[in-house]
Amino acid sequence: MRIALVSSAVILLAVVAIEAQRGTAVLLVNLPAQARISLSATSVTFPDADPTTTPLVASVPVDITISVRARVQPNGQVTLTVQSTDDLRSGVTVLPPSLITWTVTGSGFAGGILSRSAPQLVGRWTGSGVRIGTQNYRFENRWTHPTGIYSATLVYTLASP
Amino acid sequence: MSARRRTRRGLRIGRLLLILGLLAAPAVAGAQQLELTISPLTVTFPTTDPDTAPVLIAAPVTVQCRVRANGNRSWLLTVQASGDLVASQSQIPASAVTWEATPAPPFRAGTMSSTQPQTLASGTGNVNPAMTGTVTFRLTNSWTYDAGTYLQTLTFTLSTP
């Protein structure tokens, strides 16, 4: 009896096995760490103004929209900094970049004071994602500033250590 | 009933089951011959950032299947992921993978699932000579994915349900 049942079971298993064929494949995707920053304006100007009535001059455009996209390791840190490459320069006349400050909107963005000696934090986040905020520059206007057209280049750096 | 009789009776029943099994087995096993071939066995998505490529498209996969002596019975080819795409601590949901397939019909487009097999092709009767389909897998690309190398196994099943 036991032998017969075993035989029948073997036959039934054989039938079931033939009713389906299987094959496998492996999905593979390698996503490297990547980061990208975009700014809505690549130059801002501070229009001339009377220091008495306008001690802080807002930039034109007022808002720079910053879009930060980063793909990092799990819980990786993402930082955005800005640094002036030089003083504000008008020929041989210079003004310190610290006369320029900024405020921000948006989660993770930070206000600060411009520097030529060290990058200053504009934003810090944890993990991958897209972050969008605005930055508003202001220039400290004083009667003591020599007249001239001053300019400087700012470098934004998006990094994930 | 003596032990000898019980043994004889058991052997008779065993023989009967064996004969029934042998009669039934060729009728089914001989009638259904399913063949399934997948190539290549690794589906690799390209590495491109989400701004450039919102959808990552892998090289086409060739699926070859044959169904013989199936009568008027239906046949079904399904695909299922063994889980989400996994890279150490990070995951991308299996549903981020979709596919397009030709010729349609019998092949059809779909969205990957790790919980249920999804129909890749279906029909009735025989598929002889073998039919070759081309399946192009697509992965929704996103900045929110963590960096890493993601893997998952796909199981293709050809059956006559």
Question: Which residue type, as a one-letter code, is found at position B92?
Answer: I
Largest CA distance in chain B: 84
Would you give the distance in Å from CA B134 to the centre of its chain? 14
At residue B70, the pLDDT reads 86
Q: What is the pTM of this model?
A: 0.75
Q: Per DSSP, what are the bridge partners of residue B110?
A: B99
CB-CB under 8 Å, A74 with B146: yes
| Length of chain A measured in residues | 161
Q: Which residues does chain A have within 8 Å of residue B13's beta carbon, measured at their own beta carbons?
A: 1, 4
For residue B34, give both structure tokens: 């399913």
Q: Out of A14, A25, A30, whose CB is closest to B47?
A: A30
Q: Per DSSP, what are the bridge partners of residue B149?
A: A30
Q: Give the residue with greater pLDDT, A3 vs B112.
A: B112
Query: What CA–CA distances, in Å, run from A43 to A48, A59, A117?
Result: 16, 10, 21
Cα B116–Cα B117–Cα B119 angle in degrees, nearest 5: 135
Mean pLDDT taken over chain B: 84
Cα–Cα distance for residue pair A25/B120, rounded to 1 Å: 14
Interface ipTM above 0.85 = no
Tens digit of pLDDT per residue, chain A (161 long)?
A: 443 444 444 444 334 445 788 999 999 999 999 999 999 999 999 999 999 999 999 999 999 999 999 999 999 999 999 999 999 999 999 999 999 999 999 999 999 999 999 999 999 999 999 999 999 999 999 999 999 999 999 999 999 87
Whether chain B has a CB inside 8 Å of the CB on A16: the answer is no
Helices and strands per DSSP (H, E), number in chain B? 1, 12
**Paired sense of beta strands A20-31 and B42-45, if any:** parallel
Q: Which residues does chain B have within 8 Å of residue A130's beta carbon, measured at their own beta carbons?
A: 143-144
Q: How far apart are the first and last CA of chain B?
A: 45
Contact A113, A73 (CB under 8 A): no
Cα–Cα distance for residue pair A153/A86, rounded to 1 Å: 7
CB-CB under 8 Å, A71 with B41: no
The SS3 assignment for A135 reads strand
Domain boundaries, chain A: 30-159
At residue B49, the pLDDT reads 87
For A69, the closest chain B residue by CA position comes to B143
A60: how many CB neighbours lie within 10 A of its CB? 12
Q: Where are the alpha helices (DSSP H) in chain B?
A: 3-29
Instruction: Say if residue B24's pLDDT is above 50.
Output: no
Largest CA distance in chain A: 111
Contact A41, B51 (CB under 8 A): no
At residue B71, the pLDDT reads 86
Chain A nearest-CA distance from B12, in A, is: 8
Cα–Cα distance for residue pair A89/A96, rounded to 1 Å: 9
For residue A121, give both structure tokens: 């934090």
| pLDDT bucket at B15, cuts 50 / 70 / 90 | low
CATH C-level class of A30-159: mainly beta
